Structure 1
Amino acid sequence: MSLAPPSAHVFDATEANFQADVLDASFVQPVLVDLWATWCAPCKTLGPLLEKVVGEYNGAVKLAKIDCDKEQALAASFGVRSLPTVVLIREGQLVDAFTGALPESGIREFLSRHVQPGAAPDEEVVSAPAANETPEQAIARIQQAIAAQPDKPELKLDLALAQMQAGNAAAAQAELDTLPANLESDDRARRLRGQLEFARLAKDAPPAPELIARIERNAADLEARDLLGVRLLMQGDSIGGLEQFLAVLKADRSWNDGQAKKRLIAAFSVLDDADLVGTYRRKMSSLLF
């Protein structure tokens, strides 16, 4: 019986794509991994239920299916003792798992502990912006849309993003704080949260020349490296900022409760350069695993 993936949120994982499509991708959204086999009767029951429930999350979580007969080395890396085995990976690490064919309600309860359903990515709730629209004009347009469609919480996220683009960090934070739970895992909300945090840190950080001088006097000054990374990132030097965070991670991965890893993950969420983010995700993973 074929258990072919039915949607963009479900895919077959192999040794070739596991690093990029599962580990790296889990820094953007959780990835549920279904370890199954064609001869396993409970797998045939569980597989369609996993696909159905994951599909309802609209991309807030993805499902990677590993055929344990075809991908024996990959399956062995999970230490699988029985099938089906399902694990949840977030930020490159296994955070939860279960074995056996749970009912649909059990799958929902398992996922609800880790991720909230996201809004459908193709849902259009805002009229298209006019050419050369300024941030202020975008704010006015979205506020009008909210007045006309008060039951559309997605519009509040659009307004928060527009406020941030206009430089109104406090207003952006206020809108972000009112978002319902189902939008908390939205990629745009995550990016805005990261931008607000970096803006706050940069505002209170010493000037870059002072931080550089501290590092020259003491290369092990991890606080200076961390704050310099923030400064460089906010100044548009993405590589410089990421390199400082990596240097902290390499020196002491547990420093300040694992802050370097948190900084890198936050930086990945605010950067638009997919190639750059992919490169530095791999660098981070090489230091963590």
Structure 2
Amino acid sequence: MAALIGQQGYRELDVPGLTIYRYTAPTEATSSNYQPSMTLVAQGKKQAALGHTTFIYDRSHFLLTSLEMPVTSRVIEASIDRPYLCVRLAFDMGMVRELLARDGIAPAPRGDSGLAMTTGQTTRQLTDAFVRLLDLQDAPGDIPFLGDLLGREIVYRVLQSTEGKRLRGIATLGEHSHRTAAVVAWINENYAKPLRLEELAGVAAMGQSTLHRHFRALTAMTPLQYQKRLRLQAARMLMLMDGLDAASAAFEVGYESASQFNREYSRFFGRSPLRDVKALRAQAAAN
């Protein structure tokens, strides 16, 4: 990984969905949307928080994300001599469903099977598959064929593991996890719109109380809390990247009250919108 990434902070490799990251110092907590993926750490340590649940992953523990979700994360162990190094493989959920349809893959368990994010023990087999995937960077002609095969091997090993039970549930048509995942996707696409639980229940084809229970089991948040995180993260990026002021960003993501936005932003990020954006830009300039 160190040879492939050099002095960059991250690099998207030629294998579709494969990205490596490098940090030379611990970072402040940042908020972003994690996609369905698996992250394998070669060196250092990172922390990710979903709702009030915190996950630590390092060279002995991978991070599995089964659904697109707003996550707060920070690197907690890194230095110039021993930088944090990790590789992330994004999952194609269509391919996951294809594998589940084949013989030899355990079916999704009934009932709740935990959050859509978890950590698991990094095994020799998983590490070996990722190393072979990284080696394809030096053999671009092999990527179309072997890249797909190695990606399938990694997903297969995840599905066969205890940690893969939620991924199996989300990818299995008709399961509560799969129908709840459809609601999560709807909110991600429509977070600026008013949230109506009866409309979400219709998307999931289940009762409102049942949806509320399964949504919280999947994301560690209520639908309203989930929407609020998406709105705040989107507003932060609009101010940081597009130069919008706080009021304009608030209305853009669906807030009707700028004062409410300022209160919720300060509560979530620990600083007012103006102070937060200034601090982020200063940190980016220093890096």
> Does TM, scored on the shorter chain, surpass 0.5?
no
Instruction: Considering fraction of residues, name the structure with more strand.
Output: 2
What is the TM-score of this pair, normalised by structure 2?
0.29
What is the TM-score of this pair, normalised by structure 1?
0.29
Q: Higher relative CO (CA 8 A, sep ≥ 6), structure 1 or 2?
A: 2
Instruction: Considering fraction of residues, name the structure with more helix.
Output: 1
Larger Rg: 1
